[in-house]
Amino acid sequence: MQIMPMLGREPAFNMTINNGPGAGLYLEFLAHTQEIGGFEQLGLWVCQESTTNAAAYLREKLS
């Protein structure tokens, strides 16, 4: 994990829980080196804003 400090970043990890055939339940700890997450890498952008707040914001900006 020497690359992250060289980039000025703290070492960070993503933890995934898997349950595969023949492998049972297991954990993976993967080094986090990218700013965008799994969904974003697929082109699916996740918005955590509520629909009510988003609609109010849009109404305010459009009026």
For 21-43, how does the pLDDT look when each residue is reduced to its tens digit (9 = 90+)?
777 898 888 877 666 666 666 66
The verdict on pTM exceeding 0.85 is no
**3-class DSSP state for residue 5?**
helix
Domain spans, the chain: 3-62
**3-class DSSP state for residue 62?**
helix
Number of helices (H) and strands (E) in the chain: give both, helices first. Answer: 3, 2
In this predicted structure, the answer to whether residue 48 has a pLDDT above a threshold of 80 is: no
4 CB burial (10 A radius; 0-12, 13-18, 19+): middle
**Cβ atoms within 10 A of the Cβ of 37, count?**
13
- pLDDT at residue number 45: 67
The partner residues of 26 in beta bridges, in order of sequence, read: 18
